[in-house]
Structure 1
């Protein structure tokens, strides 16, 4: 009975940890926090963003993130409808994403798609092993300009 209870508790704690991992991914890109971003991966992880770059290994992921952050100095990610399965130290997920970007070449864009994730717990820490983005669509937001709020396009250097 205690083994079953421990397994159920571990599954719940794992789910919370993976939910935090997903939210911290969005937070890291939206605030351009490279230190936070570096904590979300194992050294051999892969981030596959298709047209926005594919990277294998932590150093390559961080390098690609810097390129994307320079090209899109304003990002806002909404992650939703996370379907996560956990089996011991392994997990898989499907996560819907709706994103608002200011691309320095294209202007404001709304991008929607889905992340297909592989999670791995190593030494008690959940991290992405692989994150693959499939874009459903990207829509230019012509004449879209924020008129109030704390965010603005671009960031002070």
Structure 2
């Protein structure tokens, strides 16, 4: 194998890892309420299109503002990203990822949100970041009888159960 071919394979692998990491960082940023991490995963002109249920936002400042609004209504989130598919085309890429998210909503209580993300990413100046992240909502389902009985998010009176 030529050095050029080996270099191309290595770049492909590194790009896949970088994009997988961006998808995970998106989930961690929302779950941890980490504005700095959330800002770091987008190019400045990025779009976050969450659909009718959650809104459409253009630019990093608008995306972070939308996160603040979501955190005000949903103070606890836990995202699970799965079944990621990535297609590289030089300095651009597309990705798809399934998501299940459990949230504690101030009005609805515990809610499960499920859907699919469709991503466009670009490598600019050597850095991969989201250009567009579009969410297709499969369902948003209140779970009225859901109650944690142990763990860091369980109420103090049930944490020892």
In the superposition, the TM-score normalised over structure 2's length comes to: 0.92
1:87 Cα deviation (Å)? Answer: 1.5
In our comparison, the structure showing a higher alpha carbon Rg is 2
Higher relative contact order (CA 8 A, sep 6+): 1
Which ranges in structure 1 are unaligned for 5 or more consecutive residues?
A: none
Q: Say whether 1:125 aligns with 2:127.
A: yes
Q: Say whether 1:45 aligns with 2:46.
A: yes
Residues in 1 aligned to 2:64 and 2:47: alpha-carbon distance in whole angstroms: 11
One of 80, 83, 86 as aligned partner of 2:85:
83
Map 1:107-146 to 2 at 5 A.
Answer: 107-146=109-148
1:151 Cα deviation (Å)? Answer: 2.3
Runs of 4+ residues deviating >6 angstroms:
none
1:140 Cα deviation (Å)? Answer: 1.0
Aligned length: 153
Q: What SS is found at the alignment partner of 1:108?
A: strand
Which ranges in structure 2 are unaligned for 5 or more consecutive residues?
A: 156-161
- C-alpha RMSD of the superposition: 1.0
One of 62, 69, 75 as aligned partner of 2:64:
62
Q: What SS is found at the alignment partner of 1:143?
A: coil
Alignment deviations for residues 93-131 of structure 1 (CA, whole Å, 9 cap, x no partner): 110001101111111111110000001111111110000
In the superposition, the TM-score normalised over structure 1's length comes to: 0.94
